[in-house]
Amino acid sequence: MASTLEAFMSWLRIPVLASSGIAAVLSGVLYFKQNEIIYPRNFPPDARTNVPRPSAFGMSDYEDLMIPTPDGESLSAFYLRANKQLARNVTILMFHGNAGNIGYRIPIAKILVEDFGCNVFMLQYRGYGLSSGTPNEKGLMIDAQTGLDYIRQRPELRGTRIVIYGQSIGGAVTIGLAARNFNRKDIAGIILENTFTSMRKLIPSAFPPARYLATLCHQIWPSEDSLPQITDVPILFLSGLKDEIIPASHMAQLYKICRSEPKVWKEFPNGSHNDTVMEKAYFESIEEFISEHVAR
């Protein structure tokens, strides 16, 4: 989301200085162009064409998939099979953060697959990487549901314990998906890393000059409304306290309003927005959560 911030700031520098007339015109631009700002899928510049494959990371037991959505898009995805020696009947559905594509997150998946014995299913939202279409909130939620339904329908995965794991905006996708599906009782865990309470509440803190434009934001991502609807699913909160994009207070607030039990809080004093995953104890926290609360 660093590029989001830069794009946002360049949009806003002008209205802050300009007359209200120009500001109104620019507000209009912001209203119609915000999806380009909120979903920086073309960053880095080759992110739409260059998607690293698991084979480039020494993994071979996987499938490279294109999955159709009910509304006609085609989503690129990787299904990585658990290390057979450690296999523990858990399937992790991963939702990535902004920028880049799923290929960039394979090193994370590799640890889950090879060291923790979990299956991983990672898909790329519409408009990202090799998936078709353009991103927006409604579309990303269709994509998320498509991924969950794929796991539910695939015979070798049916009956495994499903964990949904989302980083940054992927956390908002995770919360929305879990809120719509937890009643089926097949979601065995949720992992949230550095995500926000709602897009509107993120704007004033992440982009202070845009404070007065926050109401124009039509991408809602209402995690603070959806999360409290979820009950009886173990939830792990991973919060980098030095997050420079999404203030850590968002994660603290989500933890506070979460009604699902058990809920587990892990904070990383040196973790910033995209390197919390590198903090010591990040993966230990995930392993402990899965062992204690998911794969009992």
Ligand X SMILES: *[C@@H]1O[C@H](CO)[C@@H](O)[C@H](O)[C@H]1NC(C)=O
Q: Considering only CA atoms, which of 34, 45, 210 is closest in space to residue 134?
A: 34
Cβ distance to ligand X smaller for residue 101 or 174: 101
Identity of the residue, 89 or 132, whose beta carbon is nearer to ligand X in the bound complex: 89
Closest CB 1 distance from ligand X, rounded Å? 8
Which residues ranging from 32 to 51 are in contact with ligand X (CB under 6 A)?
none
Number of residues that bind ligand X (CB under 6 A): 12
SS3 92: strand
Please identify, using beta-carbon distances, which residue of 76 and 160 lies nearer to ligand X: 160
Binding test (CB under 6 A) with ligand X, winner from 60, 84, 85, 280? 280
Nearer to ligand X, 239 or 274 (CB): 274
d(CA 270, CA 131): 34
Residues designated as active site: 168, 243, 273
Tell the smallest beta-carbon distance from residue 69 to ligand X (Å): 26
Strand order in 74-80's β-sheet?
62-68, 74-80, 119-123, 90-95, 161-167, 187-193, 235-240, 263-268
If binding is defined by CB under 6 A, does position 160 make contact with ligand X?
yes
Contacts of ligand X in 217-276 (CB under 6 A): 269-270, 272, 274-275
**Residue ranges in 107-126 that form contacts with ligand X under rule CB under 6 A:** none
Provide the minimum distance between the beta carbon of 97 and ligand X in the complex, in angstroms, as a whole number.
Answer: 9
Q: Write down the least CB distance from residue 50 to ligand X, Å.
A: 14
How far apart (Å, rounded) are the C-alpha atoms in residues 94 and 148?
10
Cβ-proximal residues to 6 (8 Å cutoff; 6+ apart), any chain: none
DSSP per-residue letters across 175-240: HHHHHHHGGGS-EEEEEEES--S-HHHHHHHHSGGGGGGGGG------HHHHGGG--S--EEEEEE
User: Considering only residues 84-103, where is the footprint of ligand X by CB under 6 A?
Assistant: 89, 99
**Greatest CA separation for the chain:** 66
Residues near ligand X (CB under 6 A) are: 2-3, 89, 99, 159-160, 269-270, 272, 274-275, 280
